[in-house]
Structure 1
Amino acid sequence: MREKIYDAVVVGGGPSGATAATDLALAGHSVLLLERGGRIKPCGGAVPPRLMEDFDVPQSLLVARARSARMIAPSGRAVDMPVGEIGYVGMVDREEFDEWLRERARYSGAERLEGTFEKVERDDEAHPIVTFRRQRGGPIERVRARCVIGADGARSAVAKQCLPGAERVPCVFAYHEIIKSPEEDSDAYDHSRCDVFYQGKLSPDFYAWVFPHGETASVGVGSANKGFSLRGAISTMRADLGLTRCETVRREGAPIPLKPLKRWDNGADVIVAGDAAGVVAPASGEGIYYAMTGGRMVAEAASEFLKTGEAKALKKARSRFMREHGKVFWVLGMMQYFWYSSDKRRERFVTMCDDKDVQQLTWQAYMNKKLVRAKPMAHVKIFLKDTAHLLGLREATR
């Protein structure tokens, strides 16, 4: 019995895979969206207004709108960064959000199938075979694809098999606990504020967070240090903030890549997207917007490949993404390298966040997803202030 042939098999039903499946289906291609059921990625759930507009996502999926961020230094000093009139930080619950995206893919014409990817096989025929199991221990099933899209997250099985060196992408391991939110606001918790902790005791090389999700909240931490206790850090943070008595709804953990892969395709018929391609912003760990943007670019490249048969079209996804977002990733990577390396530097970093120029350009860059060029002198001022803080020429506290 011959395997069913699809134009594209998308492995992974997160924001990137669901977006790619939707766009390819709307372009008239036959698409299979192969997803693993019952998995929710640990994620603060922050999305910018631009995501809602670019991807036609309804406001009803937002469980909260944060109007400010609080940066907490190792000393305990807190700096509030109000968003102001330019927008908000939207919050989504990944369980509901991801499912909505998958269902949109189905309504757009993609076929949904729950199963676990096994591998990509090849034989004498032109197109590869994707193998999977519908349930653990179940029989191996096979479908054939003209194009395979690996959107199966960090440590992607598709990328490891098809792209040399993909397993070496640097990652931070993230862990969070979804808890019932306190009923009333306090200085320790505010339903309209994102709290970010730059403290070595909570993370030696990244940060910890408390993000409001309406009736729930995400209390999380990330670190690349394998010997560091993420659960211990969360326990400490919840105790310090008076959140120990809040009911724990669920616990989740997963690696988060912090550097785009040097190559997203195999030069023939396989391409990766989202976390599998490494498109999570360094320093901030923001991934939803970049995952969906990358998924869209991969879908456009795959569609061109499917129409023309030219495998070189697949390369356009990465080149376009890096052209539009590479500079931001580079800047954020440098920030993480310098400012997250010690508590002394974290203290200076939080002090720098108290600067109004820094706050304004930070929020504008977040909302617009690009470096703001409208105020060149402001960038010069920030560069000089940043250098002064880095060299210790400014006091770490005021």
Structure 2
Amino acid sequence: MAASFANTQVSGKVATRQVAQGRVAPFRATGVRKAAGAQTSSSLFAGVSVPQRVFAMGGARSVSRAVQTVFAMRDGAVLEGRKLRVAVIGGGPSGACAAETLAKGGVETYLIERKLDNCKPCGGAIPLCMVEEFDLPMEIIDRKVTKMKMISPSNREVDVGKTLSETEWIGMCRREVFDDYLRNRAQKLGANIVNGLFMRSEQQGSDGPFTIHYTSYADGSKMGVPATMEVDIIIGADGANSRVAKEIDAGEYDYAIAFQERIRIPDDKMKYYENLAEMYVGDDVSPDFYGWVFPKYDHVAVGTGTVVNKTAIKQYQQATRDRAKVKTEGGKIIRVEAHPIPEHPRPRRCKGRVALVGDAAGYVTKCSGEGIYFAAKSGRMCAEAIVEGSANGTKMAGEDAIRVYLDKWDRKYWATYKVLDILQKVFYRSNPAREAFVELCEDSYVQKMTFDSYLYKTVVPGNPLDDVKLLVRTVSSLIRSNALRSANSNSVDVSFGSKANSERVATA
């Protein structure tokens, strides 16, 4: 029997030996038809893929197609003759940083991304610590923001950033530039970039490899062609609408719609935004988030977002533009963008040898809406755990390694997400609460605590006495704002196109 399969890539003896050593789990192939007079041995083919058809022809047995050797290998099994193979689905910051770390760590890496020139609607703000931590060059940073304005529903402006030193700033970038740099760096370090659209995957048993089905656009065709590849682990970095997340039944979550317009404004007005960012709060610009005007290379990004009233997103966007109208007058819209943004981590972030990172995992903070740093960090942390668990790609790794990443992530960032969730519920629930929030932003202690936490991504211990004073000021501001609330304080009367807010409501 062994002689009849002498041309197979792995002999029955090798397969049997690997099973005995515990390096290969028994695997039952489907679609096998027994030839007349042929006998099979379960021990012989344990852990090796069997030809789909074996048939008799003139007394000789033949194999209808080439045999592909497939092993169902347990975690920790030594890989012989190859490296661990990982597919990263999605080429944003989370996917690119995961691919870079995997490639540097000796793992055979494939990054599948459909839109290699994608520019996600995103404020594009990155904290100072990210520049050094991820070794980012200054040429991909459009602006260094050193001043910010928080603008309340009543248009009260508070200058934020008074506590920043001369060496501290917030980076502003364009996602198409930022993401492209990270992907190219991953490729230079050994990752294989695949221009393709992930469709689905299937696994051969709980310990078997994944077959990924995707549409390849490598030939430049707009239609693409069906293609497959075989890998050991899948990392889903494919955003809020993640197909990988759906495959592992990761669960649903609330999501915001972010809407952004890039506006090229006159040079004198661009000078105003040279190192300044603005944030607007109020029911007119968003019932549960904020509007923004962030400076880019040669334009400003004006946007907003909402979870609770997605159908009105264009009205909120118009209100944001109206609030900033004087400072952006004469501008020309050069790009319009919209995209879903997750509001909290998914109930499930891994299943077997599949992991989720970035927006696919739901790593966007409430209140601030920050996601770039956490996306890149989660991709790197996931990849580091896989590299370590696979001994630099020489052993099979799986859920245990992925769980290491998740445990570290939760220990490090759970408190951050919880605190920002509470802040959003307290301060974004009404216009009086937003007025109190902007008032608090004027406090130097609040600014220092906020910027230190944001810029360096560490929990900054506060002064106990100052913390008590801050609590008293917070409660006082909320009470005072509600007490002074007038009949017309619910919203700012801004125009939506040619109609005032009151007119729009009356005709809605």
TM-score when scaled to structure 2?
Answer: 0.73
Distance 1:380 1:262, change over 3 A: farther
Give the counterpart of 1:198 among 270, 281, 287. 281
Partner of residue 24, structure 1: 102
User: Pairwise mapping of residues 177-188 of structure 1 onto structure 2 (< 5 A)?
Assistant: 177-185=261-269
Residue 172 of structure 1: aligned partner: 256
- Partner of residue 251, structure 1: 336
Cα distance between partner residues in 2 of 1:36 and 1:29: 22
Shift of 1:213: 0.9
Q: CA separation in 1, counterparts of 2:462 and 2:421?
A: 23
* Contact 1:155–1:276 (Cα < 8 Å) also in 2: yes
Tell me, in whole angstroms, the C-alpha distance in 2 between the residues paired with 1:150 and 1:137.
24
Change (3 A) 1:304 1:382: same
Q: Which amino acid aligns with 2:384?
A: E
1:312 pairs with 383, 387, 400, which one?
400
| Contact kept? 1:42, 1:253, Cα under 8 Å | yes
Paired residue secondary structure (1:285): coil
Residues 84 and 390, structure 2, Cα contact 8 Å, conserved in 1:
no
The alpha-carbon deviation at position 97 of structure 1 amounts to: 0.7
Q: Quote the Cα distance in structure 1 between the aligned partners of 2:266 and 2:145.
A: 16
Aligned to 1:222: 305
Kindly indicate whether the alpha-carbon contact (under 8 Å) linking 2:142 and 2:297 is maintained by their aligned counterparts in 1. yes
Letter in 2 for 1:194: A
Equivalent residue, structure 2, for 1:36: 114
CA contact (8 A) 2:89 2:235 kept: yes
- Aligned pair count reads 393
Q: Any conservation in 1 of the 2:98–2:380 contact (CA below 8 Å)?
A: yes
Deviation at 1:229, TM superposition (A): 2.5
8 A Cα contact 1:283 1:335, kept in partner: yes
Q: In 2 relative to 1, CA 396–120 (structure 1 residues): closer, same or farther, beyond 3 Å?
A: farther
Kept in 2: contact 1:9–1:147 (CA 8 A)? yes
Partner of residue 154 from structure 1, selected from 228, 240, 243: 240
Instruction: Tell me the residue number matched to 2:358.
Output: 274
Aligned partner of 1:359 in structure 2 is 447
Residue correspondence of structure 1 range 62-141 to structure 2 within 5 A: 62-83=141-162, 84-85=164-165, 87-123=168-204, 126-135=208-217, 137-141=223-227
Equivalent-residue separation in structure 2 for 1:310 and 1:123 (angstroms):
14
SS in 1 for 2:267: coil
For the Cα contact (< 8 Å) 1:43–1:176, is it kept in 2? Answer: yes
Q: Deviations over 1:5-61 (max 9, x none)?
A: 961100000001000000000001110010121432111110111000101111121
Q: Structure 2: 5+ residue runs without aligned partners?
A: 1-65, 71-82, 486-508
Matching residue within 13, 19, 26 for 2:91: 13
Distance of 1:286 and 1:349 partners within structure 2: 18
AA of the residue aligned to 2:134: F
CA distance in 2, matches of 1:387, 1:331: 17
Report whether the alignment pairs 1:349 with 2:437.
Answer: yes
Task: Please identify, of 67-76 and 177-186, the stretch whose mean Cα deviation from structure 2 is larger.
Answer: 177-186
SS of residue matched to 1:198: strand
Q: Quote the Cα distance in structure 2 between the aligned partners of 1:52 and 1:222.
A: 26
User: Bigger shift: 210-219 or 238-247?
Assistant: 238-247
Shift of 1:144: 1.0
Inter-partner Cα distance in structure 2 for 1:270 and 1:362 = 35
Q: Is the 8 A contact 2:304 2:320 kept in 1?
A: no
Q: Secondary structure at the match of 1:300?
A: helix
Alpha-carbon contact 2:452-2:460 (below 8 Å) kept: yes
Q: State how far apart, in whole Å, the 2-side matches of 1:160 and 1:387 are.
A: 43
CA distance in 1, matches of 2:343, 2:224: 34
Choose 222-231 or 67-76, whichever is displaced more: 222-231
Shift of 1:228: 4.0
The CA deviation at 1:140 is: 2.1
C-alpha distance in 1, partners of 2:298/2:263?
Answer: 9
Identity score, percent: 33
Per the alignment, in what secondary structure is the counterpart of residue 201 of structure 1? coil
CA distance in 2, matches of 1:383, 1:58: 40
**TM-superposed deviation, 1:141:** 1.0
Picking from 410, 419, 423, the partner of 1:335 is 423
1:150 maps to amino acid? G
In the alignment, the residues of structure 2 paired with residue 8 and residue 130 of structure 1 have an alpha-carbon distance, to the nearest angstrom, of 11
Tell me whether 1:295 sits opposite 2:379 in the alignment: yes
Task: Tell me if the contact between 1:10 and 1:33 (Cα under 8 Å) persists in the aligned partners.
Answer: yes
RMSD after superposition: 2.3
Give the greater-gyration-radius structure (CA).
Answer: 2
Change in 2 beyond 3 A, CA 1:231/1:191: farther
> Partners of 1:157 and 1:98 in 2: how far apart?
20
Describe the shift of the 1:123–1:332 C-alpha distance in structure 2 as closer, same or farther (beyond 3 A). Answer: same
Instruction: Report deviation, 1:235.
Output: 2.8
Kept after mapping to 2: 8 A contact 1:147/1:306: no
Contact 1:328 1:370 in 2 (8 A): no
In 1, Cα distance between the equivalents of 2:340 and 2:481?
Answer: 37
State yes or no: 1:260 paired with 2:338.
Answer: no
The CA deviation string for residues 259-288 of structure 1, in whole angstroms up to 9 with x for no partner, is: 12243210x210010011111111000111
Question: Which has the higher mean CA deviation after the structures are superposed, 133-142 or 347-356?
Answer: 133-142
